[in-house]
Amino acid sequence: MELSSERHENRLRVHAAGEMTIYSAAELKPALLEAMGQSDEIEIDLSSVSEMDTSGVQLLMLMKREAVAAGKAMTLSGHSPAVLEVFELLGLGGWFGDPQVLPADATGRAA
Predicted local distance difference test score (pLDDT) of residue 93: 75
Residue 2 has pLDDT above 50, yes or no: yes
Give the range of the structural domain holding residue 17, as residue numbers without chain letter. Answer: 2-90
**Does the pLDDT of residue 98 top 50, yes or no?**
yes
- For residue 55, give the 3-state DSSP assignment: helix
pTM of the model: 0.85
**What CATH number is attached to the domain comprising 55?**
3.30.750.24
Residue 21 lies in a domain: yes
pLDDT at residue 91 in the model: 86
Residue 103 clears pLDDT 70, i.e. is over it: no
DSSP alpha helix (H) spans, the chain = 22-36, 54-69, 81-90
Whether residue 45 is contained in a domain is answered as yes
Is residue 1 a contact partner of residue 28, using CB atoms and an 8 Å limit?
A: yes
pLDDT (0 to 100) of residue 92: 87
Domain count, the chain: 1
For residue range 31-87, list pLDDT tens digits in order: 999 999 999 999 999 999 999 999 999 999 999 999 999 999 999 999 999 999 999
Cβ-Cβ contacts under 8 Å for 29 (sequence gap 6 or more): 59, 62
Phi, psi of 49 (to 5 degrees): -80, 120
